[in-house]
Each structure stands twice: as structure tokens, then as C-alpha cells.
Structure 1
Amino acid sequence: MPAPAIDHLRHHWRGYSCLAATLLLSLLPSGFDTPDGEHLEGVLAREFLTVHTRNAPMTYYEGRQGPTGFEYELMHRFADHLGVGLNLDADHQIDEVLDAVRHSGDLGAAALPLQPDTPGVIFSRPILELQPLLVYRRGLPPVEELDDLESLSIGTLRGAGTDRVLRELQAERPELSWQEASGIEAAELLRRVEDGNLDAAVLYDHQFRLNRLFFPGVERGFVLGKPLSMAWALPSGGGLGLLNEANRFLADMLGSGELDQLVASYFGHDDYLEYVGARTFIQHAHHRLPDYTELFRQAARDSGFDWKLLAALGYQESHWDPEATSPTGVRGLMMLTLPTAGELGVDDRLDPSQSIDGGARYLRHLKDRLPESITGEDRLYMAMAAYNVGLGHLYDARHITEIRGGNPNLWSDVRESLPLLQESEWHSQTRHGYARGGEPVIYVRNIRRYHEILTYVDRTQQQFHQLNARLPDMEESDVFQIIPPNL
């Protein structure tokens, strides 16, 4: 996210902080005057906090280092704040979470829009601003204002808050109609726009930024209405103790700057997988790679890989920066996680020699663990994908490939299935659940391209500036309910 955008969000959060006391009074349901801490005492007595959430990129999913997600980080830290364990129930769609909170559990955290009039629940102070955004399929005439929506097929997610924005807009423009669906996520909505099943969609700005790289056929349109607020939901009737602790925790996160850091970590790096221009890559190969060439050659001799492939992987991971550190704590030239480094005996991830050797051995380990039925380049590409997304998610993608009638031993088929791990229809059928499955596809594609360039340079022994001018161009429904015009 560009710095001005992050600053804009921070401005709104600090405004929310000033209004928190007034807002909380307005959120209390009629008759809610029980001052005791019955609910909080129950959580402390049983020593765990039960949270209803969902398997989605903003909330909770299995990442490269284990469970992750913006709200997962908040839930985990809140449980630590209370001194209890965390028990997650992630088997929900967004429109099911509030009902689950009413009947069981302690808290709902699933990118929920704050809706003060919701029966049976009470909301925490606002956590994050949610700006509704209209996007549309590339190739259509520009969609820049409400008048441009006429005759467009528009979709959104039921229960996410964007449907409420459209209903409010329909009160002013009765001719507006759209389709809404539950049981799908933002990535699926964008895919339907790109595939032509919808002309446009309404989702939140951060959802588009998280997914835009995987859907180049979808264009940003314009913002719709005023921002909504994301908040946690708690069951009403159990006293104010847990609510007060949640609000105190969130206020402390904001005041300490930790909330800003989480926002920057999860929403401020949405373009990190973008192609780096060919000229920039060659400049780095000229100025940075020579310092590590012999280390890559030695790791290649020890692991049996082409040194240029290992170098290409290292560039994709860190741009050959031995001190690189990701927002999630993955570090070093080959960006090893702390657990992986420990398993490999790497005690200093910032040491280029240890990092390159460890990364090569880890890639070999992944390749050796794949089924014998995967052979040749398919085996190599799947090992590289697993380096990025993990073996568990790769196996899930192979399972989906089989379900779809493809060959799970062919990378060309598995790479078509990996992005489906972003869609609840598919990841609900897998062992490891949601993953940002589009990333390993782009990851492998980038490494292959970098490897091709290094191989070309190595083979021809041309100067890098001569290659500069020769490089090729790198640019590469039944689930919906129709909401008719209100005429």
C-alpha cells in the first residue's frame, strides 16, 4: 500500500479512538446493563478463548510459517493478553459467523462490518476501515461513476457489508440491481468478473489489492459510499468484562503502533510478486550476483541443481539481498523460515553461505519427498512451488487436480488448480484449507524466466548491456441471488 494510503487509514483509526466511548454506548443493545464479568470469568476459568472466524486471506489461513492472517494475528495477541489459549472455529462463511457467535463461542472475528442494530451481538471498537470499491472487467468502457453502472451485471458477497451499501444506494437509485452470493470469497468474485460471468463487482479496497495480481483482467473502478468499520462481535448478555478487555487491547494496539505495523505487514506489500523489469534484473545480476556466484556453484554441486536455477530462486526470494527480511519474519538471501533453518542446521540466516546452502538443501528435500510418479521438469516445478506455499498446500492442489479430471503429476495441470485454493468451494475440500494459491504459480513463472535469462547470458557470454536490448517483453450462476431494481 502506498504510504499516503496507510496514512489515510491511520488518520481514520485515530479518529475512531477519540469517538470510542461514545460509539460503545450507542452499540449497547437495549436492556444491556449487566456490569458483571460473567463471560470474561468463564474464558479465564476454562483457559481458552473460542473464536468464530473463516478461512480467508484477511482472517485466517495456513501460510508458509503456519497459521497466519491479519485477524489471526489480532486474535492470537488478544488471547495472549488474556493469558489463555486460542481455540478457532474457522468452518464458517461470513454470513454464518454472527449466528455462531449468538449461540456459542466467545468472539467473532471474520472481517465483520460493524452493524450496531444487529440483534444478539455487541461489537468492539472499530479495528479497520473498510472502503467499498467497484471493479469491472478490462475491455469494458471505463466505469467511473454511478451512471456507468446501467445495464452492467454486478455481483457482491452477502453479509460482507457491501450488500448493505448497495441497498442504501438503491434507495437513491431504484433502478440499480445486482447479484449477491454467500459461500464464496473475494477471489471467486473477481474470477467471475474476469471470466465474463459478471461485468463488475463490489468488494472492499483491501480485498482488491490483496488479489489484483492474480486477476489482471479486472480494473479498479471507483469507491462506493462512505467507509464501513471492521469490528469484533461478541454475544450480548454475558456482561461487559470481555468486551472491555477487547476494547482495552485494541486501544493499546493502536496506541503502541502495533496495529499500524500489522496493517503495513498484511496490506502494504500487495505488489511484492510483481515482475521486476528485465533491465533491473540484469543490473542486479551484474552488480550483486558476482558476490554470491561461487556460493551458488558450490550449493549446486552439493545438491545436484543447476547453479543458475538456485540463483534465480534466490533472486525471486530476496533480490540477492543477504539481509532481506519479510514482514512475517522470513529472512536471508534464500528467505528461510526460522523452523526450516533450524531443521537444516542453519544458525545464521543472514550468512549468505549458510542461507544459500540451506535453501539448496531444502529445495532438494522437497523434491525428494514428492511422489515418484512426478518426473522430469514437473517434479522440479512442483518442488519450487512447495518452497513457496508448502508441501501440504501443493498436495491439496494435486487433490483438486484429480477432482477436476486433470493429471496431478503434471505441473501444467496443478498450476491451474493452485489458485483454486483461494476459493472456499475448493479449499473446503482440502486438508490444509485456504492458501494464496496464485502466488506459487507466479513464483515458479518468475524463477523460470530469471533462469532463462541467466542461462542465455552464461551461454553466449554477452555483456549484460548487450542483452538489455534483446530481452522479450516481460508483461505477461447459480450461487447468486438477483436483487432486482426497486421500481
Structure 2
Amino acid sequence: MSKFLSFVILCIATTVVYETSQGQTRQSYTEGMSSPAVVESATEALTTTTETTQTTDEQLAETAELPYTISAFDPIMRKVGEEQGYDWRFMSAIAYNESRFKEDLVSSRGAVGIMQIRPVVARHFNIPVESLSDTETNIRVAGMLLAELDDLLNLPASISEQDRLSIILASYNAGIGRIHDACRLARSEGANPHSWADVSRYLELMADPAYYTRETVHHGKFNGSRQTLGYVREVMKMYNKYCTMAS
């Protein structure tokens, strides 16, 4: 499948919906029609979920006596990470933020499992929707989506790993169309479209009509920058912490 065709299919097939802590719902769109309906982000659950009352440090301390380092899913994360070319600790950080490693979690929007994958994403990859309840399949689909976004972003080899992963995460959360808009804005003003610091700044500016009405912005106003930047920050924070715990 060509890169262009894959991009068009992903855009048409997928939509990401995420809820604010005030219970409001926003929807963002990718290039074409809609953004990757990867997951319903659980960023807000960091403060609102009643089921996760322990602090992260307490949770991590409990693993010291267990036969795994980060979670009971370490072996699967390692396997899928190697298959898809991603650090298994990065995959684990996404899982923590999405579901707190709850493999039977189903959101009100239909997102399923440890990586909170929506059925439309499974269908995009020709994976039976019912198989999303299988944790290894759930993680594998997330890895496939990350790899596809990475390919579509076409980031240069010279980009730092922190910038690369942050931009991929933003695409995973907000939709690749929004990230392309921010990158084009950055480039048009002489900023670095491969720097997360610059890209994130233009994501925020895309709520301003002075920016979102420009020809370089193909998807209009974006009100979701706060949620997306918070998602990237929390996942990268956990990933960096996991890197100090496990190899």
C-alpha cells in the first residue's frame, strides 16, 4: 500500500474524541477528514480516576518485589516494541496513561483494553475488532499505529529522540493533520518544524484566528492543544522515569 493511500485511509477511517475534566467533548480532524482514533486519552484520569488512588511512586515501589520491572505486561511490551521498532518502556508509558494497565477497560466511547484502542483502528489494520480484548493484540495494534504515524510524519534522521517521540505522541493524540498544520506554521515563520518545543507552540497558536485562518492551516481552529500538550508531557515524563527503572 502506498504511503499516500495509507494516509488517506487512516484519515477517512479514524476520529479521536477526548473528554475534558469538565465533561465537555471535543473532536479533532486529520488531513482528509478526521484524526487517528487511537484512543480516548486517559490524561484526565490522572486526577479524576477513583480506581487509581496510589501515587506513581507507591505503585512502582510495589513492583520491586515482583518478577517484572514496570508491569505484568513487560514481556509483551518487549516483544511488540522489538517488532515495531519502539522502546518497550515507551509503549508501557502509553499504556499507563491510557488505562493504568487495566486490560479489561472499555471506555464510554468504545476504546478497548490496555492501550484503549478503538474498533475503527483495528479495522484500518484489518484486525478483527473482537480480538482487541486480547492484550497482546491490543498492544500490537497500538504499535502498528505508532509506526504508521512515524512513517507518515517523515521526520528526519537527525531529529532528537525526545522530539521524535513527542511529535509522534502528539499525532497519536490530536491527529496527524493537526501536527502537519503546526509544522507548516512553524516552517512558514522560520521556526523548526522538527522541534517539539516549536511545534507545541504553534499547536497552541492554532486557537488564534490570526494563525488558523492562514493558508498553511488546512484543518482550521484547534482548541485541543492544552489536552494534547498535557498528554505528551505525562507520557514522556513516565517514559523517562521507566528508563531509570528498567533496561
Asked if TM exceeds 0.5, the reply is yes
Correspondent of 1:376 among 160, 164, 167: 160
Opposite residue 366 of structure 1, the aligned amino acid is L
- Summarize the alignment of residues 25-424 of structure 1 with structure 2, pairs less than 5 Å apart: 65-66=14-15, 266=25, 272=44, 274=46, 277-282=55-60, 289-347=70-128, 348-373=131-156, 375-377=159-161, 378-424=163-209
User: 1:300, 1:307 within 8 Å by CA — same for their partners in 2?
Assistant: yes
SS of residue paired to 2:103? coil
Compute the displacement of 1:373 (Å): 3.5
Which is bigger in relative contact order (C-alpha 8 A, separation at least 6)? 2
1:434 maps to which of 221, 225, 231 = 221
TM-score normalised per structure 2: 0.70
Q: Is the 8 A contact 1:386 1:394 kept in 2?
A: yes
- 377-386 or 311-320: bigger deviation: 377-386
How far is the alpha carbon of 1:315 from its aligned partner?
Answer: 0.9
Letter in 1 for 2:234: N
Instruction: State the alpha-carbon separation in 2 of the partners of residues 428 and 272 from structure 1.
Output: 30
Give the Cα separation in 2 of the matches to 1:345 and 1:310. 21
CA contact (8 A) 2:42 2:99 kept: no
**Deviation digits for residues 247-295 of structure 1 (CA, Å, limit 9, x no counterpart):** xxxxxxxxxxxxxxxxx5749x997164684325526866895421111
**Is the CA contact (8 Å cut-off) linking 1:296 and 1:310 kept in structure 2?**
yes
For 1:321 and 1:302, the matched residues in 2 are separated by 23
Query: Could you tell me how far apart the structure 2 residues matched to 1:401 and 1:408 are?
Result: 5
382 and 68 in structure 1: CA distance in 2 versus 1, 3 angstrom threshold? closer
Contact map agreement 1:324 1:333 (CA 8 A) in 2: yes
What fraction of aligned residue pairs are identical, expressed as a percent? 21
Provide the TM-score with structure 1 as the length reference.
0.38
> 1:433 and 1:68, CA in 2 relative to 1: closer, same or farther beyond 3 A?
farther
Q: Where does the alignment leave 5 or more consecutive residues of structure 1 unmatched?
A: 1-61, 71-205, 211-263, 460-487
Conservation of the 8 A alpha-carbon contact between 1:408 and 1:414? yes
| Cα distance between partner residues in 1 of 2:146 and 2:114 | 14
**Quick one: structure 1 residues 437 and 319, their matched pair in 2 at CA, closer, same or farther if it must change by over 3 Å?**
same
1:423-451 deviation line (CA, Å, top 9, x unaligned): 34433332122331222222121111111
Displacement of 1:422 after TM fit? 3.3
Once residues 245 and 46 of structure 2 are traced to their aligned partners in structure 1, the CA distance between those partners, rounded to angstroms, is: 23
Q: Is the 8 A contact 2:43 2:231 kept in 1?
A: no
Aligned to 1:53: none
**Distance in 2 between residues matched to 1:365 and 1:448, nearest whole Å:** 20
Which amino acid in structure 1 is aligned with residue 218 of structure 2? R
* Partners of 1:273 and 1:443 within 8 A in 2: no
Which one has a bigger Cα radius of gyration? 1
CA pair 315-67 structure 1, distance change in 2 beyond 3 A: closer
- Aligned residues between the structures: 206
Give 1:372 deviation, angstroms: 4.1
* CA positional deviation for 1:403: 3.8
Query: Per residue, is there more strand in 1 or in 2?
Result: 1
Deviations 1:314-364 (A, max 9, x none): 111111111223332222211222221112233222211101111111111
Which structure shows the higher helix fraction? Answer: 2
SS of the counterpart of 1:310? Answer: helix
Distance 1:370 1:450, change over 3 A: same
RMSD of Structure 2 on Structure 1 (CA): 3.3
- Alignment partners' CA distance in 2, 1:413 and 1:422: 15
Q: Any stretches of 5+ residues in structure 2 without a counterpart?
A: 1-10, 27-40
Contact 1:265–1:327 (Cα < 8 Å) also in 2: no
> Quick check: 1:370–1:379 contact (8 Å CA) kept in 2?
no
**Compared with structure 1, are the counterparts of its residues 408 and 293 closer, same or farther at alpha carbon in structure 2 (3 Å cutoff)?**
same
Q: 1:386 is matched by which residue type in structure 2?
A: S
Q: Is the 8 A contact 1:397 1:417 kept in 2?
A: yes
How far does residue 396 in structure 1 lie from its aligned partner after superposition?
1.1
